[in-house]
Chains A and B, each alone.
Chain A
Amino acid sequence: MNNLEIVKAGLNKRYAKERRFKFYGIFSISLSMLFLFFLLFDIGAKSIPAFTQTYINLDIEFDKKSMKLQDQDSYSEETLFSASYSKLGRNALYKLFPEVTERKQKKALRQMLSSGARYDLRDAVLENNDYVGTTQNLWVLAGDDIDAFVKGLIDRNIPEADRRVKDYQVEWVDTLKAQNKIERRFNINFFTSGDSREPEQAGILGALKGSFYTMLVTLLLSFPIAVSAAIYLEEFAPKNNWWIDIIEININNLAAVPSIVFGILGLAVYINVFGVPRSAPLVGGLVLTLMTLPTIIISTRAALKSVPPSIREAALSIGASKMQVITHHVLPLAMPGILTGSIIGMAQALGETAPLLMIGMVAFVADIPQSILDPATVLPVQVFIWSDSPERGFIALTSAAIVTLLVFLFFMNLVAIVLRKKFETRW
């Protein structure tokens, strides 16, 4: 058959095309996965230095004269709180390196300690009032340059002029190392302190609490409103009604509006018209609520739709009212799907940055917020703020904050997926 011969002749080319296309497919997928792993690996690697912090072991003399205390047997909390701790650390260092006399080098020696070290010493004394007048062997927080050097972020082999850590400082570090007086420990500060100008003292506690309060407001507002709206639209709204169509179009559009526009809405309406305090989790929550509403509405409607009509009909036939059918039967059955959608919506809200920048949750906030009205920041905004800071240590901190954020998001999504799998009923 002539035709068949033509067909056979063309086969090779066609199969070559097929092979090529399959190759492109695998190539695209691999490239994308590679990017993802590169992203995660890069940030993960950058974050490791932030999880440890350098401490120096010193014999601290808590002598009353340096602490500017009157000579007494015991002291009140207030007195101890307002005593002077700034000289204690440097005195201990001078003792360790008595050969250092030149002014410039003495200053460099002092800078080996973090400016926050004095507060740690104060906390130690407040905890153990009997330290006063004694000498204690304590691990004290090192300054950010030394910290960076010890972590290997500053290369000792580049010429001294290009380094932030001078040769004599390098010698001191080596001496301390030989005496086992300098080591890296787990950086608990990262999780227990708020923001700070110094990288070695900075932590994400403030941002974590801010995120917590903001998410709380968002959840408490968006969940009831969204589920109510979805129930109305899915169960009670008249079909083919012009007004209802507009509402639905609105919801679909809001789901795709750029997040920054919601920030502008928050700025213009909440802050300027209603006078809600700027930078507070309350405003942040209000803005994020509007953003999350469409997501939860859409997934709730899908969950409600998936409950088969047969169950509704059975309930109705027993004499339940429409509202009772919904509250007694449909809603409980749809709840797993609703929860899944809500968790996913919350996860998206947790990672939002732009709208919160607009309403001012970007100021330098060192105090840990205690309520939804205190000025606060959230974790992604903290990442943004830190990424701008020039000090070396902040790169690792930013990466570590990102890792924390991603871990939260990972768990939230995991819970959502497990929830979905566990309650997935086949009708």
Chain B
Amino acid sequence: MSNLEILLILIIAAAIAYYATKRQAQSWQASRDKTKLDSLPNYYGYFGAICTLLPALIVLSFWSFIEGNIISALVVSKFERLSALNASDLSLVMNEIKIIVESGLSEKNSNDLFYEKAAVLIERYSSVSLFLKVASVFALSILGFMYAYLKITPRFKARKKVEKTAVYLLLLSALVAILTTAGIIFSVLFESIAFFSQISIFDFVFGTHWSPQIAIREGQVSSTGGFGAFPLFWGTILISIIAMIVAAPLGLISAIYLAEYAQPKIRNVVKPILEILAGVPTVVYGFFAALTVGPMVSGFGDRLNEFGMSFEIELFAGLVVSSESALAAGLVMGMMIMPFILSLSDDVISAVPDSLRDGSIAMGSTKSETVWKVVFPAALPGIVGGFLLAISRAIGETMIVLMAAGVAANLTANPLNSVTTVTTQIVVLLTGDQEFDSIKTLSAFALALGLFVTTLILNILALQIVRRYREQYE
């Protein structure tokens, strides 16, 4: 019996409980002595349903989550051979055993009798666990129903109880947000600590040689120094700078024009069109950058090169533009970020009160003077906040750089070369067949930690600035 089937039965049981308890309440309502009910009958129904469903559901979930680990632990303790293994070997072996279990014990496809014995044991434990699980879940469900049925009286405050439970459920949903952040921090931190126990933080952050290799011998890694992530950080920064150089002026000036000069009719058409740029999936940008913009940029570079050769202009003659240039990736990323800056700037500029504009116009300024000398400085904190959020987005962007920038770590300030970024490397390191605990994959977690912390700081800073700015005007 699968979990889904158990769940379905529980839901049906809850429905039955609902109707049963509701009818009971209704019968009181209709009775001769017209006993006054505390709440509407359907609340009694809900109470019945909750008691039938909730405790059973909790046990079901909990049991299912820990079932697998407990069974594995029990099996390991039974076999000395298994308990002697270290963590990564153990997980390999357990996987093999699990495969045997799943493919059916009738097929003797393993070479080792030991594996078969372990598989048989697992199968047995699983059946026992399943039986116990089903039994306890259904028992709880029935007990829950009986409790509810016996507990309710006409004076029982059904609605209050039901609503209180509902509020707790709502609270639980809100806590999911914290669970998520906790999950992220926990998972990234855990593996990063394992990583930093082998590679020093200093080497990681400031080292310039990035060529992640799995250690063949103990101690080999640190000597070849393959985990210096500085070129990655630098690559991310370089591309983000290019992106901001494109996005900031375009976004800001467009926003100012739309907010202050454009007629409402034009603004209502243009703004949504430009916001389409924000809705295009980043994989599309990546494709466009890799297939069109990259070759365009390098083709332009080649032409400049020829031009330089024939006219002997040194600056152009030696020009080599990679087809995976940081410039191409940065350009496209800039256009992806532009709508964010446009939107945020537009919001903060519109939030500047008209009284300031009136004051400036009354003094005899032209419109552009009012905008640049009064409105823009007043909106500046908000605009800076918007810039920070945009930079945070650029840093965390993956697909554009994955498809259009390179994978070779290159420490260069020349945007015409190819660089790699933190996000690209995370993808490269984690998509591929490797063991989970190898130092290569651990380094990906360390990179992710850096990424998460950086964007977190930028976001908090940005939100603080924007909030303080808003308070100024409210």
Contact = CB atoms under 8 A, between A and B. Distances in A.
- Are chains A and B touching directly in their complex (CB below 8 angstroms)? yes
Interface of A: 7, 14-15, 17-18, 21-22, 24-26, 28-29, 31-33, 35-36, 39, 42-43, 46, 224-226, 228-229, 231-233, 236-237, 246-247, 249-254, 256-262, 264-265, 267-269, 272, 274-275, 290, 293-294, 297, 321-323, 347-348, 350-354, 357-358, 360, 362, 380-381, 383-384, 387, 395, 398-399, 402, 405-406, 409, 413
B338 A233 contact: no
B93 to A, nearest CB: 16
A258 B177 contact: no
Interface in B240-262: 249-250, 253-254, 256-258, 261
Nearest to A382: B283
5 contacts: A25-B261, A32-B277, A247-B178, A256-B455, A257-B396
A254 B456 CA distance: 9
B274 interface: yes
Interface stretch (B18-26, B133-141, B196-204, B286-294): B286-294
B370 to A, nearest CB: 10
Contact of A233 (B174, B283, B285): B174
Contacts of A297: 177
Contacts of B347: none
Contacts of A352: 281
B287 A254 contact: no
B116 interface: no
Interface stretch (B27-35, B76-84, B387-395, B408-416): B387-395
B323 interface: no
A257 B423 CA distance: 13
A146 to B, nearest CB: 23
Interface stretch (B161-169, B208-216, B298-306, B314-322): B161-169
Interface in B18-58: none
Contact of B183 (A15, A36, A269, A350): A269
A351 B368 contact: no
A323 B161 CA distance: 12
A253 B459 contact: yes
Interface in B360-375: 364, 366-369, 371-372
Interface stretch (B7-15, B104-112, B124-132, B425-433): B425-433
A395 B291 contact: yes
A8 B399 CA distance: 55
A413 B279 CA distance: 9
B181 interface: yes
Contacts of B448: 260-261, 264
A261 B250 contact: no
Contacts of A254: 177, 180-181
A259 B281 CA distance: 12
B184 interface: yes
B191 interface: yes
A36 B277 contact: yes
B399 A384 contact: yes
Contacts of A261: 184, 188, 396, 448, 451-452
A244 to B, nearest CB: 8
B149 interface: no
Contacts of B279: 347-348, 351, 409, 413
B274 A236 contact: no
B163 A268 contact: no
Nearest to B292: A42
Given A236-B170, A257-B452, A269-B187, A246 B427 contact: no
A26 B452 CA distance: 37
B283 A232 contact: no
Main secondary structure of the interface of A (DSSP, over half): helix
Interface in B422-458: 423, 426-427, 430-431, 436, 444-445, 448, 451-452, 455-456
Contacts of B399: 353-354, 384
Contacts of B250: 28, 31-32
B175 interface: yes
Nearest to A232: B170
B287 A383 contact: yes
A115 B249 CA distance: 53
Given A14-B369, A232-B167, A409-B279, 14 more contacts: A36-B274, A247-B175, A249-B460, A251-B177, A257-B184, A260-B396, A260-B426, A261-B452, A264-B448, A268-B191, A272-B436, A323-B163, A351-B279, A351-B284
A288 B10 CA distance: 27
Given A7-B364, A36-B274, A264-B188, A29 B163 contact: no
B177 to A, nearest CB: 5
A229 B176 contact: yes
B349 to A, nearest CB: 13
A231 B169 CA distance: 11
Interface residues of B, number: 85
A384 B402 CA distance: 10
B362 to A, nearest CB: 15
Contacts of A380: 281, 283
A39 B338 CA distance: 15
Contacts of B190: 268
Given A265-B184, A321-B163, A29 B274 contact: yes
Contacts of B169: 228
A32 B459 contact: no
B1 interface: no
A321 B396 CA distance: 45
B150 interface: no
A248 B204 CA distance: 34
B153 interface: no
Contacts of B366: 14-15, 17-18
A218 to B, nearest CB: 14
Which of A225, A260, A358 has the most C-beta atoms of chain B within 10 angstroms of its own C-beta?
A: A260
B276 interface: yes
Given A246-B178, A265-B184, A352-B281, A358 B288 contact: no
B466 to A, nearest CB: 11
Contacts of B369: 14, 17-18
Shortest beta-carbon contacts, A-B, top 4: A258-B396, A25-B257, A351-B281, A268-B187
Nearest to B288: A39
B171 to A, nearest CB: 5
A237 B174 CA distance: 10
Which of B167, B258, B455 has the most C-beta atoms of chain A within 10 angstroms of its own C-beta?
A: B167
B11 to A, nearest CB: 14
Given A256-B389, A256-B393, A28 B290 contact: no
B282 interface: yes
A354 B398 CA distance: 6
Given A225-B176, A259-B396, A383-B284, A274 B364 contact: no
Nearest to A395: B291
B398 A258 contact: yes
Contacts of B178: 246-247, 250
Nearest to A243: B178
B470 interface: no
B91 to A, nearest CB: 9
Contacts of A32: 250, 254, 274, 277, 335, 338
B287 A258 contact: no
A178 B369 CA distance: 71
A294 B427 CA distance: 24
A250 B281 contact: no
B68 A25 contact: no
B328 interface: no
A260 B427 CA distance: 8
Given A28-B257, A29-B254, A265-B187, A357 B174 contact: no
Contacts of A22: 257, 261, 368
A59 B399 CA distance: 47
Which of B177, B254, B256 has the most C-beta atoms of chain A within 10 angstroms of its own C-beta?
A: B177
B473 interface: no
